[in-house]
A and B are shown apart, each in its own frame.
Chain A
Amino acid sequence: MKTIGISPHRRSFLRKAVTAAPAVALVAAAGVGVAASSNTQPAYRPAYFNAAEWATLQALVDRLIPANSDGPGALEAGVHEFIDLQMNTPYAYGKLWFMQAPFVPESPPEFGYQFHMAPRDLYRSALAGLEHAVQAKLGKAFTALDAAQKDAVIGELEQGTLAIGAVPPKTFFGQLLQNTREGYFSDPVHGGNKDMAAWKMINFPGARADYMDWVEQYGKHYPLPPASIA
């Protein structure tokens, strides 16, 4: 029979979470931001994407969630690093999906994903295809475009009007946008959402996971900073 109560795991986690909050406040007060301290770490080296893909991917996610005073941009949040790390999980190999042929990609959109590529192959094909399409159309690399031009290209992917080779442009756009949001808002344990800055922007407390005393505090700002499972 199980014993109900706070498990040792939860007790030690809470102790960690409680002591973490003042530590962050102290560092910030001393003028050494968490973001600044992370600059001293060696630059992330992608494990899956090659140099050209990596540059294009960064330029894309930077426009999907741009940096501004509202909160972190995708690059600050490490969305590109998250996507690279995901490429070595079963998900990226298509192991979570039903991938038996025949594929009927021209099925109506209501039937969901009907394309034969798993995320690894999809990114490889689409990033090269995008570079090729942009060179042909504008005579420049995607990374060399200005912000408005990049946004116009992304808008064409979203609308499905820019052919990028084997991958249907809307399929690539959907995959990229989903993974970008995941990298922005998932627990930092997965490599994105650095310093939980995206959670702080919206006031999501992450893994605090106990609001017994807040359920009936109607309309009050929740005061505690987020906690990660990391």
Chain B
Amino acid sequence: MADITLKKVEVVIVGFGWTGAIMAKELTEAGMEVLALERGAFQDTYPDGAYPKTLDELTYIQRSKLFQDLSKGSFTFRHDIGGTAVPYRQIGAFKPGTGVGGAGLHWSGQHWRVLPEELKLRTHYNERYGKKFIPEGMTTQDFGVTFEELEPHFDFVEKVFGTSGVAYRVDGKVVGEGNFFEPNRSDHYALPPQKVPYTAHLFHKAAAEVGLHPFVAPSSNASQPYVNPYGCQMGPCNFCGFCSGFACYNYSKASPQVNIMPALRKAANFELRPHCNVLRINLDSSKKKATGVTYVNKDGKTVEQPADLVIASTFAYNNAHLFLVSGIGKPYDPVKNEGVVGRNIAYQTMSTVQMFFDPNKNTNPFIGSGGNGVAVDDYNGDHFDHGPLGFVGGSPAWCNPAGVKPIAGIPVPDGTPAWGAGWKRAVKDNYTNTVSFDVHGANMVYRDCYVDLDPTYTDQFGQKLLRFTFDWHDNDIKMSRYVTDKMLAVAKAMNPKSIHVSVKNFGDHLDLRNYQTTHWAGGTAMGTDPKISVLNRYLQSWDVYNVFAVGSSVFPIGIGYNPTGLAAALTYWSAKAIREQYLKDPRPLVAV
């Protein structure tokens, strides 16, 4: 049935973003013959991020230069189980990538670990607040791995990414002015923290004034020249302001291209094949073992690529799509509350506070770096008593001067018209006189929020699109409103002329029009119980033992921080299990 059948390889990796690149590096180091298949084009800092052509907001942001080409395939959305889903026709609320590097080429560089209690959220809440606290229908569950197990991997990821930041506690000793709430670290960040732009400085001062614990946020934007453990070099970030949505022309923002590819190029046992769109993972007649993958190549030919081991490292929700079309694991059914693939899809619950000042404040918001800024963790996770509050989850908050560019939206005060002389005066008066911060909240998982295959719409190959059934729940809106309200004290301490707050109201629906965040999670959850997880604690499929999945799809819940640091650390955790346990005796690593 395939036009071409190729010679077997030992490992095939589906999707070459951060997690695919990490797996490729780890498994080539282990001596395996590794082939990575990437659906998009080959792309690199040069020429795709070449100076000065890359400094073009229209081409890169509004015309989606590095984002997924939706004309070839998209997703559908509906707000409830009874609705009919319609396609995500234009890039709006989230900006998935495509091509070599995936979203890791155009991400911003905010680099976080995870809170220990989020890795065991259900256990933690049950223990601290009692078993009745988590409401019916909220399907939070534990990851099945502890913070202590992941700590060495978090540390190594920060060294690979060249993460800039300041620690609070290393080896049990307080060493610096980092995040007061952060658990013990085995080492400092790879680089000292970045410089702090003016808006973040104002946020730092105001947050300290109201009794919070501000710290310079960790960023995978290099504060100094750096050489990572793979021998890959980074140059210091110059705050050009063209970070999120762009390829860093300056080799300062971590990406698979900058931080891993130079080392992989030297590996004779590695091959990267772009323009190869994997349709499915093939199984043998027992359905318990994968035989390889089938993909469509650049010429439109169908190619069968046999392999001993398959790594699914597509972007977030796409791993669930790949498992669903391949028949790996039981699809989730929200009515019967059975099955697992597609279950527990989470987004993040964002709010934004903007403060407007008199002219000549000169906040110069064009100065920016994607991950830099100042954050507070006082209202994240379970850093505050949820007992009397009646909601689960929390939000970190930060002033993240990432470079405000004029088309995408200059903040204007409440009451400003959308056009005409009034709008023009407002953008003129406010562009360099505004401070903005975000409350970047967790989003819990629910029985009625999931993905499956759409019955109507298809991609360029005729495969069914992934369908999201998703809407906000009161728990998360309550959490977001509580934290945003608390954070208003910081806004007021800056003494602005006026404040604009965008926060969700009860009853608001998921709105796909304006950018919120690209941080979807879930769909192929990891865990310890195959009834509620797709993968075991080593990210190995419970059903097909020679298939592993990596990326934020493995998170069984939504977290407060940005997901890249956790997704990368979990990939190293899984790679370690493959290298040390699986390869010498391929088998299920956890008995059912």
Contact = CB atoms under 8 A, between A and B. Distances in A.
A186 B510 CA distance: 29
Nearest to B78: A111
A204 B201 contact: no
Contact of A209 (B55, B90, B428, B457): B55
Nearest to B427: A202
A112 B89 contact: yes
B154 interface: no
Contacts of B198: 218-219
A99 B460 CA distance: 11
Contacts of B52: 9-10, 13, 207, 209, 227, 229
User: Which of B71, B87, B419 neighbours the largest number of chain A CB atoms within 10 Å of its CB?
Assistant: B419
Interface stretch (A30-38, A47-55, A64-72, A121-129): A64-72
B93 to A, nearest CB: 8
B362 A204 contact: no
Nearest to B240: A209
B62 to A, nearest CB: 6
Contact of B432 (A4, A71, A203, A206): A203
B195 A216 contact: yes
Contacts of A70: 421, 424-425, 428
Contacts of B87: 98, 100, 114
A5 B238 CA distance: 12
Contact of A5 (B58, B235, B432): B235
Interface in B217-247: 225, 231-236, 238-242
B567 to A, nearest CB: 25
A199 B578 CA distance: 53
A210 B249 CA distance: 11
Contacts of A104: 84, 86
Contacts, number: 198
B233 A2 contact: yes
Contacts of B492: none
Interface string A83-116: 0000001010011111110101001111111100
Interface residues of B, number: 79
Contacts of A181: 407
Contacts of B225: 4
A91 B64 CA distance: 10
Contacts of A1: 231-233, 262
A66 B102 CA distance: 41
B333 interface: no
B283 interface: no
A189 B70 contact: no
B456 interface: yes
B63 interface: yes
Q: Interface size class for chain A?
A: 35 or more
Contacts of B201: 218
A130 to B, nearest CB: 16
Contact of B360 (A95, A218, A221): A221
Interface in B420-466: 420-421, 423-425, 427-428, 431-432, 456-458
Contact of A185 (B64, B407, B509): B407
Query: Secondary structure at chain B's binding surface: helix, strand, loop or mixed?
Result: loop
A29 interface: no
A108 B457 contact: no
Nearest to B75: A98
Nearest to A209: B240
A199 B406 contact: yes
Interface string B396-411: 0000000001110010
A13 B51 contact: yes
Contact of B424 (A71, A114, A209): A71
B92 interface: yes
B418 A177 contact: yes
Given A112-B513, A114-B89, A96 B58 contact: no
A112 B366 contact: no
B418 A158 contact: yes
A167 B360 CA distance: 43
Given A2-B262, A102-B456, A207 B421 contact: no
Residues of A contacting B: mostly: loop
B561 interface: no
Given A2-B45, A96-B64, A9 B418 contact: no
A45 B46 CA distance: 36
Nearest to A192: B58
A214 interface: yes
B366 A212 contact: no
Contact of A212 (B91, B92, B238): B238
A220 interface: yes
A102 B455 CA distance: 12
B387 to A, nearest CB: 34
Interface string A16-50: 00000000000000000000000000000000000
A108 B509 contact: yes
B26 interface: no
B453 to A, nearest CB: 15
Contacts of A218: 198, 201
B53 interface: yes
A221 B362 contact: yes
B41 to A, nearest CB: 15
Given A104-B84, A187-B56, A207-B55, A112 B92 contact: yes
Contacts of A99: 71, 89
Interface in A170-185: 177-178, 180-182, 185
Contacts of A108: 509
B362 A222 contact: yes
Contact of A111 (B53, B238, B251, B512): B512
A63 interface: yes
A219 B52 CA distance: 27
Contact of A98 (B70, B363, B421): B70
A68 B362 CA distance: 23
B191 to A, nearest CB: 14
Interface string B329-355: 000000000000000000000000000
8 contacts: A4-B235, A7-B50, A64-B420, A107-B86, A110-B511, A202-B432, A209-B238, A211-B240
Per CB-CB distance, the 4 closest pairs between chain A and chain B, nearest first, are A209-B240, A185-B406, A186-B58, A207-B55
Interface of B: 45-46, 50-53, 55-58, 62-64, 69-71, 73-74, 77, 79, 84, 86-92, 195-198, 201, 225, 231-236, 238-242, 249, 251, 258, 262, 360-364, 366-367, 405-407, 410, 418-421, 423-425, 427-428, 431-432, 456-458, 509-513
Given A1-B233, A202-B428, 14 more contacts: A2-B262, A4-B234, A9-B50, A64-B420, A65-B424, A202-B432, A209-B242, A209-B249, A210-B240, A211-B240, A214-B364, A219-B362, A222-B364, A229-B56
